């Protein structure tokens, strides 16, 4: 069954291949796979909203474990021609299953109308929430978070992936207070150490100058984003007028 369309499948000529040919119980090739569906979870409440759908706090009926279930509406994805970004997110999730500072994909499946990504539930919430509430962090705390973000970004770069969307809204905290990066829809894959690209995407407050100037850029734009987030942790959030938001 095609990931985005009720019938048929996306070919490479269409711009991408189907990204959910299977349903993953624990999407590691060496592990056994079992089929899961919408009915295997109890959906407790909405914990986030996005351009393509919502994120629910859910429990798996079999064992009572908590997950964050990202539900994406196919018709919105197709209308906005965002298939590539959704496919990219799924591929990156499959490549980064075992890093402690990147959100983990546990299951993925689909219905006629929606796509489901069952992810770690980071009960500490968004870094953005904590910055709004507390204003600024002390230097030791900011340094701790920045170090974990740097580990996550470095790991992505080792896989030739540029994150391109580091901001407090995409940085979660787990139950132990560790950083968990999420939302990989804007990642650029296949970026070697000397590779460059020109795609203009992201949120202005965290974009490197070369991106804003629409020049070629490389993976070092992630380090600029980290610097911007570190500045906000130490000196407070910058104003974010709605009209300036690109993504």
Annotated binding-site ranges for ATP: 70
Cα distance between residue 205 and residue 216, in whole Å? 19
Distance (Å) of CA 41 to CA 48, 60, 247: 17, 4, 30
DSSP 8-state class, residue 163: -
The catalytic residue positions are: 165
- Of 120, 173, 125, 153, which is closest to residue 228 (Cα–Cα)? 153
Q: Is 7 helix (H, G, I), strand (E, B) or coil?
A: coil
Cα distance between residue 86 and residue 107, in whole Å? 15
- Of 241, 191, 233, which is closest to residue 216 (Cα–Cα)? 191
Q: The tokens of 146 are what?
A: 């920045």
Cα distance between residue 132 and residue 147, in whole Å? 21
Is the C-alpha dihedral spanning 160, 162, 74, 100 positive or negative? Answer: positive
DSSP 8-state class, residue 244: G
């Amino acid at each position: 069954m095609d990931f985005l369309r009720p019938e048929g499948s996306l070919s490479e000529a269409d711009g991408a291949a189907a990204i959910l040919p299977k349903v993953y119980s624990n999407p590691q090739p060496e592990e056994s796979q079992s089929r899961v569906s919408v009915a295997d979870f109890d959906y407790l409440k909405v914990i986030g909203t996005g351009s393509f759908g919502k994120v629910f706090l859910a429990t798996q009926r079999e064992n009572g474990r908590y997950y964050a279930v990202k539900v994406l509406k196919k018709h919105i994805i197709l209308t906005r021609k965002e298939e590539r970004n959704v496919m990219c997110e799924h591929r990156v999730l499959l490549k980064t299953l075992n890093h402690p500072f990147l959100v983990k994909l546990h299951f993925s499946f689909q219905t006629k109308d929606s796509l489901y990504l069952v992810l770690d539930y980071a009960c500490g919430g968004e870094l953005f929430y904590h910055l709004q509430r507390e204003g600024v962090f002390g230097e030791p705390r900011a340094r701790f978070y920045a170090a974990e973000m740097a580990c996550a970004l470095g790991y992505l770069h080792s896989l030739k992936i540029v994150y391109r969307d580091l901001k407090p809204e995409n940085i979660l905290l787990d139950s132990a207070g560790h950083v968990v990066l999420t939302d990989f829809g804007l990642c650029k894959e296949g970026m070697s150490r000397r590779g460059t690209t020109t795609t203009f995407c992201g949120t202005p407050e965290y974009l490197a100058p070369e991106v804003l100037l629409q020049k070629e850029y490389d993976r070092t734009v992630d380090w600029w984003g980290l610097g911007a987030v570190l500045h906000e942790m130490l000196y407070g959030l910058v104003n974010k007028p709605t009209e300036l938001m690109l993504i």
